[in-house]
Copies of this chain bind each other. A is one copy, B any other.
């Protein structure tokens, strides 16, 4: 029903099924607009122009207007956008006007940190189950949420009703775990393991690769001398 994300893969797809395809860049920016609108709302601001929003989010006014125009005419000419209204509309567009149940696959350091990361809960992503293949961890609870054996993956995913997984296993087992999650009905995976996951078309994969980001910094910095202000 809603528009689909356009990915590289879509270009090769045979059947176009949805109306307008929305680029991943637009979707990312919508998240950013939304976050800033929440801040404006908290500050009691009730109207905002594309210029102001662009300024806050680090883009330009035409970009803001174009991004929004894919989904409807939300603004008033001469005045701008109503903050609360726009925020709510974007939340609906992004599908975050409801709660998402999330299963955390991997109860290591990073898993633990993400479990207690407040932003998840705050944005409606609720971790309802934890999986780990280390039997020594199985049975303990984090803040009331039990750690289950990876062997029970299918069971746990179905019973919990989770549709999204956060994958924080070692790289070596990431594909295997992803396969199990997908077989259990998971439709979206946020992957922190530094490997490319293969998945069927109906499953969405997002990667967060910290090493790649650091190497990007390294590239940008390399060859430049450290500051001369010493």
Q: Which A residues are within 8 Å of any B CB, using their own CB?
A: 1-2, 4-5, 22, 24, 27-28, 30-32, 34-35, 56-58, 93-96, 100, 102, 109-110, 112-114, 116-117, 119-120, 123, 125, 158, 163-164, 185, 187-190, 194, 196, 202, 204, 206, 208-224, 226-227, 229-230
Contacts and interface: CB of A to CB of B under 8 A. Distances in A.
A164 to B, nearest CB: 6
A207 to B, nearest CB: 8
A210 B117 contact: yes
A187 B218 CA distance: 10
Contacts of A223: 1-2, 95
5 contacts: A5-B219, A95-B221, A113-B113, A125-B214, A204-B221
Contacts of A213: 190, 206, 208
B113 A112 contact: yes
A81 to B, nearest CB: 19
A42 to B, nearest CB: 12
A61 to B, nearest CB: 14
Contacts of A229: 185
A203 B208 CA distance: 22
A210 B208 contact: yes
A202 B189 CA distance: 35
Contacts of A190: 210, 213-214, 217
B94 A221 contact: no
B123 A214 contact: yes
Contact of A100 (B30, B163, B218): B218
Contact of A215 (B94, B196, B216): B94
Contacts of A1: 223-224
Residue of A31, A102, A117, A214 most packed against chain B (CB within 10 A): A214
Nearest to A32: B212
Contacts of A28: 212, 216
Closest 3 pairs (CB-CB, A-B): A95-B222, A113-B113, A2-B223
Contact of A214 (B32, B120, B214): B120
Contact of A222 (B94, B116, B158): B94
